[in-house]
Amino acid sequence: MRNHSARSDSARGDTAKGLSQRDSLDESTLQAGSALGRQATERHAQGSAVPALTILFHPDLHRIGDRALLPQLQRGRSVALSRREPVFTSNSQGRDSALRDRHLSRNPWHLRPADGDLLLDPGSSSSTLRIQGKAITAPRTFSSAELEDGIALELAGRIVLWLHLHRLAMSAAPPDYGLVGQSHLLVRTRADIERVADLDVSVLIRGETGTGKELVAQAVHRASRRSGPFLAVNLAAIPESLAVAELFGARKGAFTGSNQDQPGYFARAHGGTLFLDEIGESSPELQAQLLRVLESGEIQPLGDPRPRRVDVRVVAATDADLEAKIASGSFRSPLLHRLAGFEIRLPALRDRRDDFGRLFKHFLESELENVGESHRLRAEDATTWLDPPMLIRLVALPWPGNVRQLKNVVRQMVIGSRKAPRLQLGPSVERLLEGTAEPASNPSRPAKAPKAIRRKPSTVTEDELRETLRGNRWDLKPTAEALCISRTSLYALIEKFPNLRASSEVTNDEIRQAFDDCEGDHEAMVEHLEISIRTLRRRLRELGLA
């Protein structure tokens, strides 16, 4: 990668190649006012959602992740978008700059508020503007819901921006703890790590598969005051018959084949941290033993009549719905309460797409180094090897496997493009983009999805309904589809079961209280109130809390 001085030389060279003196003066003027403007923006945005543009791709790869906050849109003012404005703030480089790409027109596009929505007007700009991959030549309006979800803008086939809402933290930014990204959800995760790291309480990390639960557990350990080791064990990978001995140890002769004393994970992690992954898959016997250790601080190895004290900080993780498991009798409620001395919820990749560019670049650098082609990213103009529209296609994927899946996709692309002149998607990634696991038998005619078979609503149990609602973030349409029942039947079931309620039954006072308790974090409010994100946003707008 180029160093800072090399980048400065490149910037001067770029000016000599095509930027006029007027461009340079305009840039200087913007730079001079950026510090005061940024302070005003931060004061305005503390704890509130602010429209923002985040760079997902730029010919200068150092610019990926830079962000421009646009609070003026909330004040009824327009924002110009061109090579010279707005000014983007860089967390990594410590300097502010406009896009400064000479292939962009000096004539700006304009973003302006329009009756609660957002209007993007291409104006007289001669540069191509694509939205979600489609070129536009006339003004385009985005609803508030679209802005919440995020919109990909491709400028001149060279720069990709993510137009979205960004929420600034209400306190100073914590250390990054090795986690890649600057979305408000990831900043919240870092703040959670900082809050709990030096406390002697157990931690429960929740999140979908591939969201980085073990990375967060390692961060909690590194930021703690513990001098002992960090040990990780996947409970789903240990046979049930061996789990107790593996965790708590065994004396010589305790079972057939036990020829010597065997220290368990707890004894080996003394003074440090033990990470219990897939805690939801633990057996009832193991759960009882874990509860005893957490309550007493003592373990009892198999075959040993005497308990032993251990000093171990337990961090557990799961992607399972533990409350549903408690309801079905497969998980112990007291154990959940002991494990969740403090709970950290990790966001899915689809909920922090403004981090996509940073993550893509991070994995690209790592995988290129593995195959000996790090030079690919040293070009002055990254578009000579990377295709910006490719990133548009990738960022739009649902990413059910989250960051782990993205890392694997980047590896597939890098290996498949070895010695090739440009980065290629490859057949497996193309199939992923087409939404099929295998190629269609007739490529010219996409295969039709099989029609779901309707089931009787009476076969849906309250536990199943609650688990499906939670898995779909309380959104009724995908919940009904997942259960293979109609929306009407779903409403009837919610009304039927005493422990469930319709979103209309959530009072305004509950929403205001949740807004305060969750510091305005919509994702946390969804879980707390058990209503869909769209309903929550509508209610917040009605209450003037949006």
Assigned domain for 439 exists = no
Total of domains in the chain = 3
Q: Are residues 72 and 149 in the same domain?
A: yes
Assigned domain for 400 exists = yes
Q: Look at strands 203-206 and 313-318 and give their pairing.
A: parallel
78 secondary structure, DSSP code: -
Within 18-70, residue ranges assigned H as helices are 21-45
More confident position, 420 or 241:
420
pLDDT tens-digit readout, 201-217: 999 999 999 999 999 99
Assigned domain for 179 exists = no
- Interaxial angle between packed helices 427-434 and 402-416, expressed in degrees from 0 to 180 and rounded to the nearest 10: 140
- Here the CATH number for the domain that contains residue 396 is 2.60.200.20
Q: Are residues 32 and 144 in the same domain?
A: yes
Q: Are the C-beta atoms of 334 and 291 separated by less than 8 Å?
A: yes
Assigned domain for 522 exists = yes
Q: Report the SS3 class of residue 109.
A: strand
Assigned domain for 206 exists = yes
Q: Are residues 250 and 396 in the same domain?
A: no
Q: Are residues 251 and 306 in the same domain?
A: yes
What is the Cα–Cα distance from 197 to 179, expressed in whole angstroms? 15
- Here the CATH number for the domain that contains residue 231 is 3.40.50.300
Assigned domain for 498 exists = yes
Structural domain harbouring 209:
184-346
Q: Are residues 91 and 115 in the same domain?
A: yes
What is the Cα–Cα distance from 396 to 53, expressed in whole angstroms? 16
User: Does the pLDDT value for residue 5 go beyond 60?
Assistant: no
Last residue of a domain, one of 313, 346, 379: 346
pLDDT of 133 reads 74
More confident position, 541 or 56:
56
Q: Are residues 83 and 16 in the same domain?
A: yes
Q: Are residues 393 and 355 in the same domain?
A: yes
Q: Are residues 488 and 408 in the same domain?
A: no
Assigned domain for 442 exists = no
What is the Cα–Cα distance from 123 to 138, expressed in whole angstroms? 8
pLDDT band at 454 (very low <50, low <70, confident <90, very high): low
Q: Are residues 21 and 140 in the same domain?
A: yes
Q: Are residues 240 and 285 in the same domain?
A: yes
Non-local (6+) Cβ contacts of 360 within 8 A are 56, 391, 394, 406, 410
pLDDT band at 223 (very low <50, low <70, confident <90, very high): very high
Which tokens hold the place of 533? 């994100």
Last residue of a domain, one of 327, 346, 365: 346
Q: Are residues 194 and 297 in the same domain?
A: yes
pLDDT of 437 reads 40
Q: Look at strands 313-318 and 273-277 and give their pairing.
A: parallel
pLDDT tens-digit readout, 431-443: 888 864 443 333 3
Last residue of a domain, one of 346, 371, 392: 346
Q: What is the pTM of this model?
A: 0.72
pLDDT tens-digit readout, 68-125: 999 999 999 999 999 999 999 987 666 789 999 988 988 999 999 988 899 999 888 8
Q: Are residues 141 and 53 in the same domain?
A: yes
Assigned domain for 90 exists = yes
Q: Between the ranges 146-150, 460-464, 538-542, where is the mean pLDDT highest?
A: 146-150
pLDDT tens-digit readout, 313-370: 999 999 999 999 999 999 999 999 999 999 999 999 999 999 999 999 999 999 999 9
